[in-house]
Structure 1
Amino acid sequence: MALIPLTAAFREDFVVQLVPVEDSDTIATVAQKVAAHAVGLRVAPRQSPMQVIFQGKVLDPEKKVADVPLSPMDFVEVRYADG
Structure 2
Amino acid sequence: MATVPLQAAFRGDFATLLVLVDDEDTMEVVAQKVAYHVIGRRLPPQDASLRVQHNGLVLLPDQTVAQAVMPSMSFVEVFYDASGYDTAVDSGNYSGGSLGR
**Which TM-score applies when normalising by structure 1?**
0.96
Q: Which residue of 2 aligns with 1:68?
A: 68
Q: Which runs of 5 or more structure 1 residues have no equivalent in the other structure?
A: none
Q: After TM superposition, what 4+ stretches of structure 1 lie above 6 angstroms from structure 2?
A: none
Task: Look up the equivalent residue of 2:36 and give its one-letter code.
Answer: A
1:80 corresponds to which letter in structure 2? Y
For residue 59 of structure 2, what is the aligned residue in structure 1? 59
Which protein is bigger by CA-based radius of gyration?
A: 2
Structural mapping, 1:4-83, within 5 Å: 4-82=4-82
The CA distance in 2 between the partners of 1:68 and 1:55, in whole Å, is 10
**RMSD over aligned Cα atoms:** 0.9
Structure number with greater CO (CA < 8 Å, separation at least 6) is: 1
AA at the equivalent of 1:10: F
Q: Secondary structure at the match of 1:73?
A: coil
Q: Which amino acid aligns with 1:25?
A: D
Alignment length (residue pairs):
83
Q: 2: CA distance between counterparts of 1:56 and 1:68?
A: 12
